[in-house]
Amino acid sequence: MKTSILRYNVIIRKENRTFIAYVPSLGISDFGKTLEEAKRHVREAITCHIEGLIKTATEVPPPDAEEYYISYAEIPVPAGIKFAF
């Protein structure tokens, strides 16, 4: 059977001692104790999700057209400020 490679962007963030991996295009996420474990788990979740869509004859969302790079910015602020949350 011929196969195609689909590429979906994954956003991974660290929350306490866990890494959360989120796939915005598919609306799914998974986690792991390490970065590599989170990546592996989310690949498995993507595969399971796509297989389920195929079995139910549901359209598969198109792969992401562009790569995204997400970073963070550190900004100095006065100590003791109140945050909105």
pLDDT tens across 16-39, in order?
Answer: 999 999 999 999 999 999 999 999
The C-alpha atoms of residue 4 and residue 39 are separated, in whole angstroms, by: 20
The C-alpha atoms of residue 58 and residue 50 are separated, in whole angstroms, by: 9
Token duo for residue 13: 């963030």
Q: Which pLDDT band, with edges at 50, 70 and 90, does 70 fall under?
A: confident
Q: Where are the domains of the chain?
A: 1-70
Which of 3.30.70.1350, 3.30.160.250, 2.40.50.140, 3.30.365.10 would CATH assign to domain 1-70? 3.30.160.250
Q: Are 31 and 22 in contact (CB under 8 A)?
A: no
